[in-house]
Structure 1
Amino acid sequence: MSVTSATGADRAGPASSPEGAATAPGTPRRRAYGWGPLLLRLHFYAGVLVAPFLVVAALTGLAYTVTPQLDALVYGTELRAEPAGRSARPVSEQVAAARAAHPDGTLSYVALGGDGATTQVVFTAPELGEKQHSVYVDPYTGQVTGQLTTWFGYTPLRTWFDDLHRNLQLGVLGRHYSELAASWLWIVALGGLALWWRRHRGGRGRAGRLLLPDLAARRGVRRTRGWHASTGVWLMVGLLFLSATGLTWSRYAGANFGAGLDALAAGTPELPTSLSSAAGPDSGGGHHGGGPAGAPAVDPAAIDQVLRVARADGLTGPVEVGLPADASSAWTVTQVDDAWPVQKDRAAVDPAAGTVVARSDFADWPLLAKLSSLGISAHMGTLFGLANQILLAALALGLLCVIFWGYRMWWQRRPTRADRRAFVGAPPVARGAWWNLPTWAIVVGLPAVFLLCWALPLFGASLVGFLAVDLAVAAMRRRRRTDGVVPTSPAPAGS
């Protein structure tokens, strides 16, 4: 994931001088390197410069995996209710109890959990922005058990950890770190896999040598590289998954992804809520949609009828009931069970007529919309419950180990002779390796890189930064030569 030393075939020979000197007359024309040196140098720079962002993402993600248990520990009074053989009170009665405890704000939606969970009655207010006031009601007694300021149903603790992972508590500016990490993670992972495969190509028992470190190797770079690379292979699928799902809701790449889904008509389908045939297909009353200020009043007591109609139409399990935007719009009932098998069907209900006026079933969603929804649930650790949390924690710990071994290799490759001592190792191959690619690869590759930079803007910006660093180092070395100072030669790229 970070720094990988070159193989003998990949080492920079005399033909790849650091400054790209011309071949002397009569010298045989140098042979094209292929992809190895380019991958190695890119993997090196990405590992050194992007790995710190990956470390932060792994640590904050690791902390986030335990938020369900922390919620149960910290907010047990608000979140849990004891059935004790009792039947649940009417939901309208629970809403009335919540309104009595919280007279301010606009009622937005009501979340009904499974057995042993309290009912969450959510109110919005202009001063809260994206956040809400949630009042928790014991469905079996009708008593209010607590009140919290939440973010789309998240408790304050879970919201804090979510913000830490997404933006380091820095708001929009902080989101750049996580997008940068996700943009490079898949490139570093696949590049490392390619380099490790090249090292073992043609050898006997290649699969086993790819998956297991060489414990017989002497201590030093070779052994560290074995742990670094083989662990990365084991983590490969999970790291690619985290990268892809993380990018789907990032700031810039996520916007491009959403635009692509819209262009392909592959996004989450809208649920029509208008009760008027003259109105458009969607009045904007989503499952979190409360009525806007000044809208005609909607009687919350109708929620019991709305639930009866929705349950009769097959919407079982935990649901959220959203109030209509106005008197000419339908109520919405949305299944919110993210555990496998997921339940995410939605229905628009007219309580006056006692009918479902529209439905949007998860089974009918476009494939890309399904995959995106399932991927996000798995990324957040909810799809497979505790097993999902354990797997995410293992991925985070494994990634931290891979990064540690990568930096350790960088340190182990440092020159140690008295006349050329350095704190860390030099880049494993000379710059300019991409010029040695076949012409067809350059012709095809450059447009592909530009397209990738457009789709992942922070990847493109950081790639330009890498090139700037490389060119700056080259300029400094040329200046030292001009001043008559011989630069220190890089350390050997092998062990």
Structure 2
Amino acid sequence: MTERNQTSKKQRSWYQSMWRWHFYAGIIFAPIFIILAVTGSIYLFKPQIEDRLYSEMVFTEESGERVSLEKQVRAVNKKYPEATVSSIGQFKETDRTTRIGTMFGEEAGFVYVDPYTGEVTGKRLGEGPLGFIKTIHGELFAGKVGNLLVELAASWAIILLITGTYLFWPRGERGSFKRVLFPSFQKKDGKRNFWKGLHGSVAIWSTLGLVLIIGSGLAWSGVAGEWINTIATKTNSNFPQYAYGPDETLTSQVVTKDIAADIPWATQNDVVPTSGPAKPIPITVSEVDRAATQRGIVKPYQITLPQGERGVYTISSLHSNPMQEKTMHFDQYSGTILSSVAFADYGLLAKMISMGIGFHEGKLFGLLNQLVGLVLCLGLIFIVFSSIVLWWKRRNGAGKLTAPKRTVDRRVQKIVAGLILLISLTMPLAALSVIIIIVLDFLIFNRRRHDKEELAA
């Protein structure tokens, strides 16, 4: 056999082995990819959708001076005496109402108050239709198990994008690189090659954006999210424990995400300090609001009220630009700043993830970011759809799976499996699943080889 033929055979072995991993992962997770892409494309436009759904509650006409936050809270208590106020949302737009977070028994909701008249404009319980979409997107409406499935699928999506790039990358033929980026729409080479060209080109164009969206989404997941937090904390690249530095005797074991919602990712696990010894009269919400404004926090932001005698006022940014994020804790009696963490205080990894999350949610650069996210979601849907078309045409009416055949070169199989495992090491669930596949493959292969040896004996 010539050297050229040996090289060609080796390349085919690599291609076949990589394709086999790519094929099975794509077939298994295709339905979840579709669900994530559809729900994600809808949730990107949450601000516009909710403004339209709740326009009578969230918008008002600017008319004179604003009434105090205390008066607005009293209006909520008067209208809904059974409700407990937990937070107050302030927005920069002058035609928006104040959003007051409330608990109606065990159910969370929002009451909206006109800041100019002090009148309640409406209430809503739960997160509404967008909350339903978010639950499907984050956990397939299956709780913890669903969240793990989403994380596993997202992790494998990154592996699929990397292996797919290898499979479709040009291999020296003249003009091949151009065909990768700009596929021919002519069907002269056959319908399957036509779909293969579209599938590969859309994937190549989408890969970087999809990796950014999927990778940042893993920061919210159950296993990878905790793993990322642990790595960031141990490498001191997450957030400083206290950027302002309170007295250590006043700290607690409560973290920010336990007492407040809608807070920046980087400060969710920041330990919340406690207020000093109780005094007869705590400071007012308006005083906290003024103190925060004086110290550079800009609207939109949320004021979370103290929980208990040692609780603190927490102010957290609701800003779309991660670089303007800030989280502050105030002593409820003295108004002393117990902790203040801004984007500039984040470690490198926390900054990167915060920017990635902003991109993931379509908030990093406004409407353009939302449209880019939508295009990427539609691209993912097309990639999955075209892969199903390719598989169907490959079957050609056959009543079986017609998966790519296993390469006979065991050395290549092992190297490719090792590379897949190496890629997955940054994603715990994917790494675990790859190890399981490798072990099962080894056991099944050895069993088949043993059976063949017995038959030959």
TM range (shorter): 0.7 to 0.9
Change (3 A) 1:464 1:352: closer
1:402 aligns with 2:378: no
> Pick from 63, 71, 81: which aligns with 1:93?
71
Structure 2: unaligned runs, 5 residues or longer: 261-271
Q: Please name the residue that 1:252 is paired with.
A: 223
1:383 paired to 2:383: no
1:35 match: secondary structure: helix
Quote the sequence identity (%). Answer: 26
- Residue in 2 that maps onto 1:107: 85
Give the SS at the match of 1:317: coil
Q: 1:388 to 1:365 in 2, by over 3 A?
A: same
Structure 1 length normalisation: TM-score? 0.76
Q: Is the CA contact (8 Å cut-off) linking 2:238 and 2:348 kept in structure 1?
A: no
Counterpart CA distance in 2 for 1:278 and 1:341 is 28
Instruction: Find the counterpart in structure 1 of residue 196 from structure 2.
Output: 225
Partner of 1:386, secondary structure, is helix
The Cα shift of 1:94 comes to: 0.9
Quickly say closer, same or farther: Cα 1:474–1:55, change in 2 above 3 A.
Answer: farther
CA deviation after TM superposition for structure 1 residue 50, in Å: 1.8
Q: Does 1:193 align with 2:153?
A: no
Structure 2 partner of 1:145: 121
Using the TM superposition, name which of 380-389 and 248-257 deviates more.
380-389
**For 1:325-379, what per-residue CA distance to the aligned partner results, in whole angstroms no more than 9, with x for missing partners?**
44455423222212x3642123333465555444212112112112212222221
Alpha-carbon shift at residue 451 of structure 1 (Å): 8.8
**Post-superposition CA distance 1:200-246 (Å, at most 9, x none):** 22123443222111334423221111101011011011111122112
CA distance in 2, matches of 1:453, 1:285: 29
Match for residue 164 of structure 1 among 136, 146, 153:
136
Query: Counterpart of 2:177?
Result: 207
Indicate if the aligned counterparts of 1:182 and 1:243 stay in contact, CA closer than 8 A: yes
Q: What SS class does the counterpart of residue 35 from structure 2 fall into?
A: helix
Contact 1:285 1:323 in 2 (8 A): no
Q: Is the counterpart of residue 289 in structure 1 residue 259 in structure 2?
A: yes
Q: How many residues align?
A: 436
Q: Which structure 2 residues correspond to residues 418-433 of structure 1 after superposition, within 5 A?
A: 422-423=398-399, 426-431=402-407, 433=409
For structure 1, which runs of at least 5 residues remain unmatched after alignment? 1-7, 14-30, 416-420, 484-495
- Deviation digits for residues 411-449 of structure 1, max 9, x if unmatched? 22235xxxxx61466233325555336x8x58xx74982
Per-residue CA shift, 1:281-315, capped at 9, x if unaligned?
Answer: 456474873899xx969967611111111111211
SS at match of 2:364: coil
Q: CA deviation at 1:137?
A: 0.8
- Report the 3-state secondary structure (helix = DSSP H, G, I; strand = E; otherwise coil) of the residue aligned with 2:102: strand
Distance 2:201 2:423 in 1: 31
The CA deviation at 1:280 is 4.2
In structure 2, the partner of 1:311 is 293
Aligned residue for 1:322?
304
Q: Aligned in 2, Cα 1:54/1:472: closer, same or farther, shift over 3 Å? A: farther
* Stretch deviating more after TM superposition (353-362 or 367-376): 353-362
> Structure 2 length normalisation: TM-score?
0.82
Change (3 A) 1:285 1:460: closer
Shift of 1:254: 1.8
Paired AA for residue 69 in structure 1? Q
Quote how far apart the aligned CAs of 1:269 are: 3.9
Which of 155, 164, 173 aligns to 1:183? It is 155
Match of 1:121 among 100, 108, 133: 100
Question: Pick from 66, 71, 77: which aligns with 2:45?
Answer: 66
CA gap 1:469/1:303 in 2 versus in 1, 3 angstroms: same
2:210 aligned with 1:239, yes or no? yes
Match of 1:332 among 306, 314, 337: 314
Superposition deviation, residue 474 in structure 1:
11
Distance 1:230 1:263 in 2: 40
8 Å Cα contact 1:298-1:324 kept in structure 2: no
Give, in whole Å, the separation in 2 of the partners of 1:462 and 1:106.
48
Question: Residue 173 of structure 1: which of 145, 148, 158 is its match?
Answer: 145
Q: Distance in 2 between matches of 1:73 and 1:53?
A: 29
Looking at structure 1, the residues matched to 103 and 176 of structure 2 have their Cα atoms a distance apart, in angstroms, of 59
Change (3 A) 1:422 1:312: same
- SS of 2:99's partner is strand
Q: Is the 8 A contact 1:92 1:301 kept in 2?
A: no
CA distance in 2, matches of 1:297, 1:390: 51
- 1:284/1:325 contact within 8 Å kept: no
Partner of 1:81: 60
1:250 offset after TM fit, Å? Answer: 1.2
**Structure 2 CA distance for partners of 1:176 and 1:329, relative to 1, 3 Å:** closer
- Maintained 8 Å contact 2:282/2:333: no
Residues of 1 paired with 2:6 and 2:360: CA distance?
36
Aligned partner of residue 143 in structure 2, secondary structure: coil
What is the CA–CA distance in structure 2 between the aligned matches of 1:188 and 1:461, rounded to whole Å? 14
User: Is this contact kept in 2: 1:44–1:427, CA < 8 A?
Assistant: yes
SS at match of 1:174: helix
Contact 2:43 2:134 in 1 (8 A): yes
Structure 2 match to 1:348: 329
**Higher Rg:** 1
1:55 aligns with 2:25: no
Q: Which range moves more in the overlay, 349-358 or 88-97?
A: 349-358
Report if the CA contact (8 A) 1:296-1:326 is conserved.
no
Question: Structure 1 residues 188 and 308 mapped into 2: Cα distance closer, same or farther (>3 Å)?
Answer: same
Q: How does 1:259-274 map to 2 (within 5 A)?
A: 259-271=230-242
| 8 Å contact from structure 1 (residues 245, 372) kept in 2 | yes
Does the 8 A contact of 2:66 with 2:115 survive in 1? yes
Summarize the Cα distance change of 1:329–1:402 in structure 2 as closer, same or farther, 3 Å threshold. closer
* Map of 1:452 onto structure 2: 424
Q: Using a 3 Å threshold, how does the CA distance of structure 1 residues 262 and 94 change in structure 2: closer, same or farther? A: same
